[in-house]
Structure 1
Amino acid sequence: MEKFAKVKELIASVEADVEKFYSAGNGAAGTRVRKAMQDLKVLAQDIRTEVTEKKNSAK
């Protein structure tokens, strides 16, 4: 659950940069969005691995 909370925090923190990039065309904000999405990908993969391990250990 801790990692899922981090995912929610990351999405909330990048929301302003997404708005700046898509509305104002701010290139630097786009770079920050790309980095945040990469971090999100890593967190999501960690959660997937954790869920799989927990599911398989229950058997």
Structure 2
Amino acid sequence: MKELIEKINVAVEAFKTDAGLQAEKGNKAAGTRARKASLELEKLLKEFRKTSLEASKA
């Protein structure tokens, strides 16, 4: 579970960086990367929810 949390943290940082570049400087490529990171983050968070529920039942 710790490595999953670390992956989530990395994805969040990537999203924050790219979203900030898009918002502040109008960088279109950064916007694309931010959207891609948000999709990856969504997958990781769903996996975390599933893992967390399994752990709480045990």
TM-score (norm 1): 0.83
Name the residue aligned to 1:20: 21
The aligned counterpart of 1:48 is 49
Structure 1 unaligned spans of 5+: none
Percentage of matched positions with identical amino acids: 32
TM-score normalized by structure 2? Answer: 0.84
Larger radius of gyration: 1
Amino acid at match of 2:30: A
Matched residues in 2 for 1:40 and 1:46: separation? 10
Aligned residues: 57
Deviation at 1:15, TM superposition (A): 2.8
The 2-side partners of 1:13 and 1:30 are apart by: 11
1:16 Cα deviation (Å)?
A: 2.5
Higher mean C-alpha deviation, range 2-11 or range 31-40 = 2-11
RMSD: 1.2
In the TM superposition, structure 1's runs of 4+ consecutive aligned residues that sit over 6 Å from their partners are none
